Amino acid sequence: MRREPGNARSNEAKAEETAGAILGWLANEPDMLGRFLALSGVQPNQLRNAVNDPGFLAGMIDFLMGHEPTLLAFCEATGTKPETVAAAWQHYSGPGLGSGDY
């Protein structure tokens, strides 16, 4: 499947926006942020630098995608569609075996 360059930039911007929204939501959910930090091994003082790492963003989105109630809580709180989170997840995590994009 060929992707148009302009569309790729748009998808990247949407993925970045979604990742920022997830981080903002986590920051306002202390219990959830604590759980994420414990699972990821990232220390609170490392967050500022970690947000520039695509691997960190992939892991953060994976954290939501791996637990449907957390995903739905984020979506409800922010008005974000689950499909938007899934697209950001795919952007940062890369194609999976079921995607047909490898």
In a domain, 10, yes or no: no
Q: Taking residues 42-67, what's their average pLDDT?
A: 94
Among positive and negative, which fits the CA dihedral 60, 65, 66, 69?
positive
In a domain, 66, yes or no: yes
In a domain, 11, yes or no: no
In a domain, 27, yes or no: no
pTM of the predicted structure, to 2 decimals: 0.83
Q: How far is Cα 60 from Cα 54, in angstroms, rounded to an integer?
A: 10
Confidence of residue 94 (pLDDT cuts 50, 70, 90): confident
Q: How far is Cα 49 from Cα 40, in angstroms, rounded to an integer?
A: 14
In a domain, 81, yes or no: yes
In a domain, 24, yes or no: no
Number of domains in the chain: 1
Please report where in the chains the tokens 């892991």 appear, as a residue. 59
> Which tens digit of pLDDT belongs to each residue from 4-42?
555 667 899 999 999 999 999 999 999 999 999 999 999
In a domain, 22, yes or no: no
Domain that holds residue 85: 33-95
In a domain, 86, yes or no: yes
Written as one string, the DSSP assignment of 28-66 is T-HHHHHHHHHHH---GGGHHHHTT-HHHHHHHHHHHHT
Does pLDDT of 55 surpass 50?
A: yes
